[in-house]
Structure 1
Amino acid sequence: MAVPLVPKAGYVLAVACSARVRINHGRTTVRADTVAGRLPATAWQRHSAGRGAKGYRHYDWAWIHIGTGSHRHLLIRRNRTTGELAFYLCWSPTTATLAELVRVAGVRWSIEECFQAAKGQVGLDHYQVRHWTSWHRHITLAMLALAFLTAVAADAAPGRPAGRNFPTQDSDPISLTVPEIRHLLTAVFAPPAATAARLLHWSIWRRRHQATARRSHYRRRSLDEPAG
């Protein structure tokens, strides 16, 4: 019985500046930062790695073919302000554009954001255990709690990712976020001296000011960044 082959998955893998890559059709091996230093100014293109909390994350990007394969590249990101460089090894089963590789590299931010939320909101790293079983139980319960909060936040803003809505009216607050829902649930199960009405009032006040700050950040960045 013939077993169908599973197509290989492409990747965009962050590596250190000291990572060595093959250029000139695999004939020369050099460090990634050395390659970046040799690139002409025309090799850099401006692309957005996606939306962040304070606006679109625009960087300068460059890529070069590496190795002997037809779809292997070294992707280089340069911070426009500090000049800091980041490096990615890329491979795709089919031809990919620079914009597509940049989009995939930008997805990493959402993963880091998820880990940060898990640590800050549900105590993912707040454990003192020495055995795998107890560690596994803690991690599982923490991720379950985060999944619950995320589902509630998504349900509060149907059709829009939690925490990613941008109100157009100055008086409108942002939708309920994971931190805000956790704060409200904590108040419900461990009631403070304040009344429920006062807690809701402060929740709306916080989210309205968060919406104002978010609009201001995007408005400021839109003046400096290219469209698209």
Structure 2
Amino acid sequence: MSLPLFYDLVMSWDAELTALTERIGRSLFVRPEPRANFADLVRGLLADVPRKNSWQLSDHVGHGTANRFEHLLDRAKWDAEALREQVRDYVVEHLASPDAVIIADDTQAIKKGDRSVGVAPQYCGSTGQVENCQVMPMLTYASAAGHAFINRRLYLPESWAHDPRRRAMAGVPEDVVFATKPGLVIEMLAVELSAGTPFAYLAGDAGYGRDPELRAFCHRTERPIAYVMAVPVDLPLVTVHGQSEPAGHVLDRLLALGDAGLWERRSCGQGAKGVRLFDWAAVAVHVKDQQPAPGHGHMLLLRRSVADPAEIEFFLAHARVGTAITELIRIAGMRWKIEENNEQGKDLLGLTQYQVRKWTPWHRHVTTVMLALAFLTVTRARLTGMDAPTVREDEQGKALVPQVPSG
């Protein structure tokens, strides 16, 4: 692509971003000053700023101090839930597909001290150990056009949820009660169902797949949700003779019959390093104390690593009877897309680089980052098929945000 054409492309990104922030800003703010600050914040998040905190973002966009962004995130009058709805609507407008997948996962922000809302010693997936951190269950919307966050929650550990003093200091609303991480995903799914968000499947890791209440929510007869979620090896199943057994015993029985013909090598989608090939096996199962929705059945998928055959992961599928196994494998392979969103949000857009401690500023920052990621995703989708790089990469091959003018 010639330099003038590339310049025109960048200018079109700038115009689209301006139109988006103006449209959303007018729905959120009465006065022009917070609308301008909101637009500056989104533009700063998309820029090449080392740390996406209020001070460095303010310096990048030309504010003399961090006061404007700090006021916007903390004391200004606006509704982060209204912004979240706008983000979801924008993503659906550009990426919607009837066979789209909603993916549930949580990400963590490691923090010091004990005053930031929700922070506590708890398991951190990014390090694989207990850290002093905040945990954020998120939903990603994924289709062939792209994938971006559409919903979020902040997990409040019981030590926070049942402590009136800490709640008051952090501004936690009175109607917020303790909920498990899967419970928060149920809340978000209910919001998306009510909004009519089009999707065909739910995907998630074993932290969500193992939860019987989340699965029960998906089995409801009035609006069943098909899913493919990772599950632990001890997921309770029922044999044909009515006896209880863990999922791992299914693998043992299959292996006892011999390895020949058991596994089939299949791709579950493109990854950062190319086609993601695994060996797969599948068997119909009955889940203990849980019936599938009418017209649906349960299938246990077993995924074996090609490089290390001892590495086997289990997935439970809940889908309409007659659904092709290849379709279920495709859905299982979609789960990594939310991990990519988590990485992009943290590394490129400052998802966890905030310096806020209270409930309202946290939701405002995270939701604004969701808007920045949605803009990035839609911009990529529009570039598909054009004679231009779909996205720039750094020396490690990580995606960089399309740079728009900062003024």
TM over 0.5: yes
Select the structure that is richer in helix.
1
User: For residue 209 of structure 1, what is the aligned residue in structure 2?
Assistant: none
Q: Which of 26, 50, 64 pairs up with 2:283?
A: 64
Q: What is the RMSD computed on CA atoms of the aligned residues?
A: 2.6
User: For residue 28 of structure 1, what is the aligned residue in structure 2?
Assistant: 243
> 1:9–1:81: structure 2 CA closer, same or farther, 3 Å change rule?
same
User: For residue 390 of structure 2, what is the aligned residue in structure 1?
Assistant: 175
Q: What is the CA-CA distance between 1:86 and the residue it aligns to?
A: 1.1
> 1:189–1:35: structure 2 CA closer, same or farther, 3 Å change rule?
same
Look up the SS of the partner of 1:65 in the other structure. Answer: strand
Q: Which of 315, 319, 338 pairs up with 1:111?
A: 338
Supply the distance in 1 between the matched residues of 2:371 and 2:249 (Cα, whole angstroms): 44
Supply the distance in 1 between the matched residues of 2:231 and 2:372 (Cα, whole angstroms): 32
Instruction: List aligned pairs for 1:91-170, cutoff 5 A.
Output: 91-158=318-385
Supply the distance in 1 between the matched residues of 2:353 and 2:271 (Cα, whole angstroms): 27
Q: Which of 252, 255, 272 pairs up with 1:37?
A: 252
Supply the distance in 2 between the matched residues of 1:177 and 1:144 (Cα, whole angstroms): 20
Amino acid at match of 1:53: A
- Counterpart contact for 2:348–2:401, Cα < 8 Å: no
Residue by residue over 1:170-222, the C-alpha shift from the partner in whole angstroms, topping out at 9 and shown as x without a partner, is xx98432483335x44xx549xxxxxxxxxxxxxxxxxxxxxxxxxxxxxxxx
Supply the distance in 1 between the matched residues of 2:227 and 2:300 (Cα, whole angstroms): 12
Amino acid at match of 2:400: E
- Counterpart contact for 1:21–1:29, Cα < 8 Å: yes
Look up the SS of the partner of 2:333 in the other structure. Answer: helix
User: For residue 52 of structure 1, what is the aligned residue in structure 2?
Assistant: 271
- Larger RCO of the pair (alpha carbons < 8 Å, separation 6+): 2
Q: Which of 218, 226, 231 pairs up with 1:10?
A: 226
Amino acid at match of 1:43: L
Supply the distance in 1 between the matched residues of 2:254 and 2:314 (Cα, whole angstroms): 14
> 1:23–1:123: structure 2 CA closer, same or farther, 3 Å change rule?
farther
Supply the distance in 2 between the matched residues of 1:44 and 1:133 (Cα, whole angstroms): 50
Supply the distance in 2 between the matched residues of 1:128 and 1:101 (Cα, whole angstroms): 41
* Structure 2 gap ranges (5+): 1-220, 394-398
Tell me the TM-score normalised to structure 1 length: 0.65
Supply the distance in 2 between the matched residues of 1:138 and 1:130 (Cα, whole angstroms): 11
User: For residue 102 of structure 2, what is the aligned residue in structure 1?
Assistant: none
- Counterpart contact for 2:348–2:400, Cα < 8 Å: no
Q: What is the CA-CA distance between 1:77 and the residue it aligns to?
A: 0.6
- Counterpart contact for 1:153–1:181, Cα < 8 Å: no
* Structure 1 gap ranges (5+): 160-171, 191-228
Q: What is the CA-CA distance between 1:43 and the residue it aligns to?
A: 2.1
User: For residue 305 of structure 2, what is the aligned residue in structure 1?
Assistant: 79
Residue by residue over 1:34-56, the C-alpha shift from the partner in whole angstroms, topping out at 9 and shown as x without a partner, is 32233131222111101112221
Supply the distance in 1 between the matched residues of 2:226 and 2:381 (Cα, whole angstroms): 29
Amino acid at match of 1:71: G
